[in-house]
Amino acid sequence: MSNQQILKNTNAQLLDQFNASIMFDKELYKQDIQGSIAHSKMLALQEIITIEDQVKIEAGLLRIKSEIEAGDFEWKIEHEDVHMAIESKLTEYIGDAAGRLHTARSRNDQVATDFTLYVQDKSLTLKDKLKVLVNTLVNIAEKHTETLIPGMTHLQHAQPINFGYHLLAYANMFKRDFERFESSYIRNNNCPLGSAALAGTPHNIDRFKTAEFLGFDSPTQSALDTSSNRDFALEILFNISTTVMHISRLSEELILWSSYEFGFVKMSDEYATTSSIMPQKKNPDVPELLRGKTGRVYGNLISLLTVMKGLPLAYNKDTQEDKEGVFDSVQTCEISLDIVTAVMDTLIINVDKMEKACKVGHLSATDLADYLVQKANLPFRKAYYITKDVVATANKLNKDMSELTIEEIRSSNEEIKNIDNEILSYLDLRNSMNARTSFGGTSTQRTKEQISYFKDWL
Ligand code: ARG
């Protein structure tokens, strides 16, 4: 072979590889076969193909499906993609009838259908997993509606809250994630098939039938829009990004809480790893990985947004770049949800440490200011400055505000030199937590109400 010949062959191989998507879109074999069976049934009903051919097509496709599932199907790069691979096998099995299957469709609406079916199916799986996670959080919360933990802003001690209430904040995030997957599912439950290449088809097809066979609510409106629409894929990428962002925030807290400085929780041994050099260490690798996974998931979203931004109507091969990122994000989200649920489920909670931490930082300071507003009718700003003086007294005495005697409080500022003894109970940390009874507040009673709200929802 001449050098030129070798170069030409190599180039051809290289191009096949470059052009092909079969290495990754074979993931869609199930949806491809499901879509083809539905399409063939519709074609037969509309008398575009014969019943005999439809029966042959369906049987052939099911045979191919079992071969794929048994690992007996050879995926070849020269077939380019999952659609061509299955069609060429079908031709091998049933001959001419296979050639009738592609009537009134193109690979453009075919791939859009397969991919939509995949995304819809995965949205349901992810919703289920989110529910399991919310359930886990609610169960832990139920046991800790009276466990005090410092509520923070700017990662600084702010006000006492209960640990159950803290976890329910995450339950709220994950419930919203659930709802996002749900609303995307509803919005995108339309069937692309029958849009054909870009403009519809002259064949007398019934797209409503195809949609019905595949469990869609209706066919998509515009063939032209359909053949290059990937909003459904972008939506799942965004929904997953938000979900893993929430998982990452929770992971960040687990990492902090399991550090020596906090000591609020301990990860069960299965979910903590040891250091290869420091034998005494237990590392929170698992939540760190959960936090780290967000990077690639956000990347997948940005990557598809970028692929789509310059595409003229209608189909362009660029969109073949839509799949790997979605597969990766889906897989990452599935495993992350399973893992974070397991971590939470086995978390060892150190109530003493949490409650002890509440005695640092004058968490009930706001309660004094609120008391002065309510009982002495002072403007809040004035009450705020008086409270500041009491904080200064506490600091001087090296005490938490909740530990001051009535004399120490009275001596802090002229204006409160006669303040009633009852203030002491207002400054008590548990009373402070329980005083926040406004809707959505942290009091044990309100927390229990939230728990029953979630139980109803679950
Ligand atoms: N493998 C292609 C993809 O994933 C299928 C659609 C190809 N259509 C075409 N007209 N070349 O996008």
Residue 269: predicted pLDDT: 84
Residue 171 makes CB contacts below 8 A (sequence gap 6+) with: 134, 137, 138, 141, 454
| 322 pocket-lining for ligand 1 (C-beta < 6 Å) | no
Q: How confident is the model at residue 111 (pLDDT cuts 50, 70, 90)?
A: very high
Identity (one letter) of the amino acid at 55?
A: V
Of 275, 364, 402, 438, the active-site residue reads 275
Pairing, β 156-162 against β 190-191: unpaired
pLDDT higher than 80, residue 1: no
Mean pLDDT of the chain: 96
| 319 pocket-lining for ligand 1 (C-beta < 6 Å) | yes
CA distances from 307 to 41, 79, 300 (A): 35, 24, 11
Please give the distance, rounded to the nearest whole angstrom, from the Cα atom of residue 17 to the centre of ligand 1.
14
Please give the distance, rounded to the nearest whole angstrom, from the Cα atom of residue 323 to the centre of ligand 1.
11
Is-catalytic flag, 123? no
Which of 81, 105, 313 for a ligand 1 pocket mutation test, highest count of atoms within 8 Å of Cβ? 81
- The angle, 0 to 180 degrees and rounded to 10, between the axes of the packed helices 231-257 and 107-143 is 30
Contact 130, 181 (CB under 8 A): yes
Nearest atom, ligand 1, residue 81 CA: 1
Residue 9: predicted pLDDT: 79
| 115 pocket-lining for ligand 1 (C-beta < 6 Å) | no
| 21 pocket-lining for ligand 1 (C-beta < 6 Å) | yes
Residue 275: predicted pLDDT: 72
pLDDT higher than 90, residue 229: yes
Question: Alpha-carbon distance 436 to 447, whole Å?
Answer: 10
| 87 pocket-lining for ligand 1 (C-beta < 6 Å) | no
3-state secondary structure of 378: coil
**In the chain, pLDDT over 70 holds for what percent of residues?**
100
Nearest atom, ligand 1, residue 82 CA: 1
Q: How confident is the model at residue 202 (pLDDT cuts 50, 70, 90)?
A: very high
pLDDT higher than 80, residue 90: yes
Is-catalytic flag, 336? no
The model's pLDDT over 343-391, given as tens digits with 9 standing for 90+, comes to 999 999 999 999 999 999 999 999 999 999 999 999 999 999 999 999 9
| 25 pocket-lining for ligand 1 (C-beta < 6 Å) | yes
The model's pLDDT over 56-88, given as tens digits with 9 standing for 90+, comes to 999 999 999 999 999 999 999 999 999 999 999
Please give the distance, rounded to the nearest whole angstrom, from the Cα atom of residue 11 to the centre of ligand 1.
21
Nearest atom, ligand 1, residue 80 CA: 1
Residue 323 makes CB contacts below 8 A (sequence gap 6+) with: 21, 24, 25, 27, 28, 115
Q: How confident is the model at residue 257 (pLDDT cuts 50, 70, 90)?
A: very high
| 82 pocket-lining for ligand 1 (C-beta < 6 Å) | no
pLDDT higher than 90, residue 107: yes
Q: How confident is the model at residue 404 (pLDDT cuts 50, 70, 90)?
A: very high
> What average pLDDT does range 48-58 have in this prediction?
98
Quick one: three-class SS letters along 89-141? HHHHHHCHHHHHCCCCCCHHHHHHHHHHHHHHHHHHHHHHHHHHHHHHHHHHH
Residue 278: predicted pLDDT: 76
pLDDT higher than 80, residue 6: no
Please give the distance, rounded to the nearest whole angstrom, from the Cα atom of residue 317 to the centre of ligand 1.
6
Of 2, 154, 276, 438, the active-site residue reads 154
3-state secondary structure of 292: helix
Please give the distance, rounded to the nearest whole angstrom, from the Cα atom of residue 243 to the centre of ligand 1.
30
Please give the distance, rounded to the nearest whole angstrom, from the Cα atom of residue 267 to the centre of ligand 1.
46
| 336 pocket-lining for ligand 1 (C-beta < 6 Å) | no
Question: Alpha-carbon distance 436 to 450, whole Å?
Answer: 14
pLDDT higher than 80, residue 255: yes
Please give the distance, rounded to the nearest whole angstrom, from the Cα atom of residue 207 to the centre of ligand 1.
21
Q: How confident is the model at residue 109 (pLDDT cuts 50, 70, 90)?
A: very high
Which pair of structure tokens corresponds to residue 34? 């499901």
Residue 334: predicted pLDDT: 98
Nearest one of 212, 48, 19, 214 to 115, comparing CA atoms: 214
DSSP H helical ranges for 153-218:
163-187, 207-213
Q: How confident is the model at residue 2 (pLDDT cuts 50, 70, 90)?
A: confident
The model's pLDDT over 269-296, given as tens digits with 9 standing for 90+, comes to 888 777 777 777 788 999 999 999 999 9
| 227 pocket-lining for ligand 1 (C-beta < 6 Å) | no
| 81 pocket-lining for ligand 1 (C-beta < 6 Å) | yes
Residue 273: predicted pLDDT: 76
Q: Whose CA is nearest to atom 12 of ligand 1?
A: 320
